[in-house]
């Protein structure tokens, strides 16, 4: 599931799960400037250490928000695997700022 938000400077960000045959499920985000119409920049946020097996609800519990105090810090919450298995995911909260947000 992809989650998105926008900061006070017009930077948009989306958070999402990443995985492949050689990458354990983890969390990444991409951001870009809406006013500047820049190309998206991807940033890895967190890497898990296990894989889910035979599950079908991955990514149901995620959110991207902007800190209401500074209106610049993005917070992304999503799932990752501590170890191989089924339904043994954990929640991780990560944060980042786009350079230039004031």
Please check whether residue 102 lies inside any domain of the structure.
Answer: no
Please check whether residue 68 lies inside any domain of the structure.
Answer: yes
Domain housing 60:
3-97
Total count of domains within the chain: 1
For position 26, what pLDDT does the model report? 86
pLDDT tier at 41 (50, 70, 90 boundaries)?
Answer: very high
Please check whether residue 71 lies inside any domain of the structure.
Answer: yes
Query: Over the stretch 65-79, which tens digit does the pLDDT of each residue have?
Result: 999 999 999 999 998
Please check whether residue 38 lies inside any domain of the structure.
Answer: yes
For position 1, what pLDDT does the model report? 66
Share of the chain above pLDDT 90, in %: 56
Query: Over the stretch 19-28, which tens digit does the pLDDT of each residue have?
Result: 888 888 889 9
Burial class (CB in 10 A: 0-12, 13-18, 19+), 31: buried
């Amino acid at each position: 599931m992809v989650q998105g938000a926008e900061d006070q400077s017009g930077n948009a960000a989306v958070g999402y799960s990443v995985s492949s045959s050689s990458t354990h499920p983890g969390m990444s985000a991409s951001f870009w400037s809406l006013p500047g119409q820049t190309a998206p920049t991807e940033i890895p946020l967190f890497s898990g250490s296990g894989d889910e097996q035979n599950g079908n609800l991955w990514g149901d519990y995620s959110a991207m928000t902007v800190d209401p105090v500074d209106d610049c810090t993005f917070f992304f919450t999503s799932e990752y695997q501590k170890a191989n298995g089924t339904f043994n995911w954990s929640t991780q909260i990560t944060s980042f700022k786009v350079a230039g947000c004031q």
